[in-house]
Amino acid sequence: QVQLVESGGGLVQTGGSLRLSCAFSGRAFSTYAMGWFRQVPGKEREFVATIAARGSATDYAAPEKGRCTISRDNAKNTVYLQMNRLKPDDTAVYYCAKHARSWIGVNQAEYNFWGRGTQVPVSS
């Protein structure tokens, strides 16, 4: 059974940086793409970033390009999201998710396991 546990969230000021981590428990982490999504209360969960199984490809939502970097360490079964120049609009619960296959994907329906999320409040 796959388990995903996010960490690294917390209050940050506008313009600050944060690195989220997601620890994967289960088999064959290195064979699956991973993704980060976020959700604001009352709104739909939205895509943030995705990385292929071997780290050979990444993709980002338009607002995150240039500000966020997704990476992974397959030896540690961990995926990261580095976020820079944070804005109040980035305030959300951030979720890590395991893709059903090895290639990147931006649609939530392609992901079959989810973490419980970590909160990232950005103060103005």
User: How many other C-beta atoms lie within 10 A of the C-beta of residue 50?
Assistant: 26
Distance separating alpha carbons of residues 117 and 38, to the nearest angstrom: 8
pLDDT digits (tens, 9 = 90+) for 2-31: 999 999 999 999 999 999 999 999 999 999
pLDDT digits (tens, 9 = 90+) for 71-118: 999 999 999 999 999 999 999 999 999 999 999 999 999 999 999 999
Q: What backbone torsions phi and psi does residue 105 show, to the nearest 5 degrees?
A: -155, 145
Report pLDDT for 37: 98
For residue 71, the SS3 value is strand
The residues, ordered by sequence, that sit 6+ positions from 8 with a Cβ below 8 Å of its Cβ are 18, 19, 20, 21, 118
Cα-Cα-Cα-Cα dihedral of 106, 101, 114, 52, to 10°? -60
Question: With 90 as the cut, is the pLDDT of residue 63 above it?
Answer: no
What secondary structure does DSSP assign to 87-119, as a single string? -GGG-EEEEEEEESSSS----GGGEEEE---EE
Report pLDDT for 12: 97
**87: nearest Cα among 101, 67, 71, 107:** 67
Grade residue 62 by pLDDT with cuts at 50, 70 and 90.
confident
Report pLDDT for 36: 98
